Structure 1
Amino acid sequence: MSRPFPSRRTSVLGAVAIGLAALVVTVRPWADRADGADAEPGRNCDSSVPYAAGAGGYGSYRIPAVVRTPGGTLLAFAEGRIGGRADHGDIDVVLRRSWDGGCTWGRLQVVAKGDGNTRGNPSPVVDPRTGNVVLVTSYHSGDVTEAQILRGEATGEQGRRVFVQTSEDDGRSFSAPREITSEVKKPDWRWYATGPGHAVALTRGDHAGRLVVPANHSSAPPPGSPDTGQEPKYYGAHAIYSDDGGKTWHLGFVDDSYDGVYNANESTAAQLPDGRLYFNARNQKGTSSGNRLDAYSGDGGATLDRDYAEQRSLNDVPLVEGSVLQPAGERGTLLFSGPSVPTDRAAMALWSSTDDGRSFHKALTLSARKAGYSDLVQTDAERVGVLYETGVRTAYESIVFRRVPLRDLPADGR
């Protein structure tokens, strides 16, 4: 097992002993190796394929998220969609673990079982105080669609709900999902989604130790307004946070301008060297040009320093989720991952920023193939990893893990 990489900015305590809480995990018989043509076994591999459509009893895998534990294990989460690619129906949250930096992967684990319903949008984070892995996910009835929820036709038990789970043993097992909807969702919100992608543990500043989960929602129209259900101007981003390792949760900032120009949607976040949080979001069919928005928070996600605004240096990114990461160490430039064809989900790429997200430069294109959602993780002092959806005909044929040396990511994009 690899040792945690050193960092001058962070210090992570070892994991605590396993508690007495009931632990729930299912293991499917899947070989302890990387699968697929992209896998290159060996310590110096470039890429592997932890998830391939049709394997392990699932029609497809979507919505990747990845974190690194204090023990050096990589945890690659995804949605295991039993019936195919649809965003609703019988969907589990699944996990595979890697002990060698993402070259090979262990057996498939079911972390949150749908049982006919939809569990997804995994947003994992490692608690810096205990080393526990905290996983926040979203849920809705498998009998309803996102469109029905947006129209207000599915509420309560059928509608979008929020759950949290914890692993105290390096991701080998997780506690049963515990609902936190009443703590983090406003009564007039309809759609609700955590992340997706890794959440953030603050390691410095007044709120060190806080866990921050970027999220998004849709709101019911104001009284007297026409209720068209999917009216884009009622989309907004928000954050939820915990100051006690995931035991209790609070609603942080809420982007509720609902002006239809900047529709902050699926969100990702990173803590900058000066302690601020940087948020980057999908612009869900807003009337402004470009598909990426960003904002900052100087108080640990409780409020925003300014409203979301267009991030024009990422105008090559199509309408899709993306990921940001602030690597530790000397080459601590802010990174962004996403497809790089404005009109298509294709050509997964990495961008870098040396000015705390005010501007980005394209640093590396990983592949010309179709590409969708992605998540970033630092694997060691010299590399980052990109867990992303990709394929030849569609972006949803597999989820690939690509290892990228930091030296291959020039800060100026050249």
Structure 2
Amino acid sequence: MKYLLAFLIIAVFFVLFFPHHRWGLTRSVVAWAYSSEGLGEENQVDVFISGTEGYDTFRIPSLFVTPSGAVLAICEGRKESRSDTGNIDLVLKRSEDGGETWGPLQVIADDGDNVMGNPCPVLDRETGTIWMPITRNLGHDSEKEIKEGTSEGSRECWMMKSTDDGKTWSKPENITESTKAEDWTWYATGPGVGIQLESGRLLIPCDHAVAGTGMFRSHVIYSDDQGETWKLGGIPGDYTNECQAIQKRDGSILLNMRSYHGKNLRYTSVSQDGGETWTEPVMDEELIEPVCQASLIRYEGDGTKNRILFSNPADKKRIKMTVKLSYDEGESWPVAQLVYPGPSAYSCLAELPSGEVGLLYERGMKNPYEKITLARFPMEWLEE
């Protein structure tokens, strides 16, 4: 008993006098005391609330900053239920003040009773065009049926674009023929954002399932002609799924993937040739996950530091939305801050025009799908 009392006294002392100190252990264990509260509500705004604006549920967020500095919050508007199947539109809200206030909901892709979702926009810096790959399937075909090859239709890859800073969007065009192999059933773009490489190549992280295997795999698609045509890139390995990418300082690409290896850890792979071939995936022991989508971006700031940001529910359950920071190109993650302690799931990071970090993520009180919220915070908060 006396040892327990001594421990408690010491713990209280350090909490009172060193509240922001992080106690580092090994590379595979980031030891720090999660706040039970997370980021203050004054720094968060609910952008989409399920059960409003004509939709039962909003899911699958993407956060995107346009060339003019406008902030776009993009997601799926699910008409009838929370289900991944049914009448699902792609919807968008726009902010002209860095995410403080938001304009009205816009429906940018609607195929009647069918599914139009999985946004993963990418900006061509040379032309200013925003390319938006999405995926489509018949509303009565379930993911299980599509994956098993027993559905009426299949999953398709479509592309739309905006040439006016995201204010209006072209009619989606089907690019499945050049971006999906014949023996693939399920298919998904992102979700999150794509990237443009130093070479000008546009690259979209994706995933698929192979007929007869019951297995997901990550892959990428890319364009070398400013988005006019798209090609299928490489496949890192088996039992990987939704993924996001960054280009490393040495020109290689790091792909961070949802995993079905049964480890509750993220897996990563590297490409040295623009996404056409990949190394065998390896698990990252610092990035725990509940088998869920995650976000990965490079934070540019003033260019004086090398910083990669990662967000996901940092738990084996879909709770504890957390942002982590790497100074060594994703090799280690020594910094972490809890944004929201409760139920949370998919997320998307962006560097806002102000220099703040924006995190658009799913959260709720009883389940993660009650609302999609934008959290904003300075890098100083993350690094404190």
TM-score by length of 1: 0.80
* Structural mapping, 1:382-393, within 5 Å: 382-393=355-366
1:325 aligns with 2:297: yes
1:169 aligns with 2:139: no
Regions of 4+ moved over 4 Å = none
Partner of 2:26: none
Structure with max Cα Rg: 2
1:397 aligns with 2:370: yes
* Structure 2 runs not aligned, ≥5 long: 1-38
Q: How much has 1:332 moved relative to structure 2?
A: 3.2
Among candidates 316, 330, 335, match of residue 309 of structure 2: 335
Deviations 1:234-263 (A, max 9, x none): 2211000011222100111123x54xxxx1
1:59 aligns with 2:56: yes
Q: How much has 1:382 moved relative to structure 2?
A: 2.7
The 1:189/1:338 distance shift into structure 2, 3 A limit, reads: same
Partner of 2:28: none
1:235 aligns with 2:216: yes
Q: How much has 1:153 moved relative to structure 2?
A: 0.8
The 1:39/1:51 distance shift into structure 2, 3 A limit, reads: farther
Report if aligned partners of 1:49, 1:401 keep a CA contact under 8 Å in 2. yes
Secondary structure of 1:296's counterpart equals strand
Report if aligned partners of 2:306, 2:329 keep a CA contact under 8 Å in 1. no
Partner of 2:326: 353
Cα distance in 2, alignment partners of residues 171 and 370 from structure 1: 31
The 1:347/1:46 distance shift into structure 2, 3 A limit, reads: same
Cα distance in 2, alignment partners of residues 327 and 196 from structure 1: 19
Q: How much has 1:341 moved relative to structure 2?
A: 2.1
Partner of 1:299: 273
Q: How much has 1:360 moved relative to structure 2?
A: 1.7
Cα distance in 1, alignment partners of residues 127 and 162 from structure 2: 11
* Structural mapping, 1:215-254, within 5 Å: 215-221=206-212, 231=214, 234-254=215-235
Please tell me the root mean square deviation across aligned C-alpha atoms, in Å: 1.7
* Structure 1 runs not aligned, ≥5 long: 1-37, 222-226
Among candidates 131, 134, 156, match of residue 131 of structure 2: 134
Among candidates 103, 107, 113, match of residue 116 of structure 1: 113
Secondary structure of 2:99's counterpart equals coil
* Structural mapping, 1:14-413, within 5 Å: 46-154=43-151, 158-202=153-197, 204=198, 208-221=199-212, 231=214, 234-255=215-236, 257-258=237-238, 263-284=239-260, 286-287=261-262, 289-304=263-278, 306-315=279-288, 317-328=289-300, 329-342=303-316, 344-380=317-353, 382-410=355-383
Secondary structure of 1:183's counterpart equals helix
Report if aligned partners of 2:209, 2:216 keep a CA contact under 8 Å in 1. yes
The 1:332/1:407 distance shift into structure 2, 3 A limit, reads: farther
Secondary structure of 2:234's counterpart equals strand
Deviations 1:52-76 (A, max 9, x none): 0011100000000011111001111
Letter in 1 for 2:221: I
Q: How much has 1:362 moved relative to structure 2?
A: 4.2
Report if aligned partners of 1:46, 1:103 keep a CA contact under 8 Å in 2. no
Secondary structure of 1:182's counterpart equals helix
Secondary structure of 1:56's counterpart equals coil
Report if aligned partners of 2:62, 2:75 keep a CA contact under 8 Å in 1. yes
Report if aligned partners of 1:39, 1:49 keep a CA contact under 8 Å in 2. no
Cα distance in 2, alignment partners of residues 114 and 66 from structure 1: 23
Q: How much has 1:307 moved relative to structure 2?
A: 1.2
Secondary structure of 2:107's counterpart equals strand
Report if aligned partners of 1:164, 1:246 keep a CA contact under 8 Å in 2. no
Letter in 1 for 2:193: H
**Equivalences, count:** 344
Cα distance in 1, alignment partners of residues 114 and 40 from structure 2: 32
Cα distance in 1, alignment partners of residues 381 and 128 from structure 2: 30
Cα distance in 1, alignment partners of residues 167 and 53 from structure 2: 18
Cα distance in 2, alignment partners of residues 245 and 403 from structure 1: 31
Q: How much has 1:381 moved relative to structure 2?
A: 5.7
Q: How much has 1:364 moved relative to structure 2?
A: 0.7
Report if aligned partners of 1:39, 1:48 keep a CA contact under 8 Å in 2. no
Deviations 1:286-334 (A, max 9, x none): 24x2331111112221211x1111111112x211100001111224311
Secondary structure of 2:318's counterpart equals strand
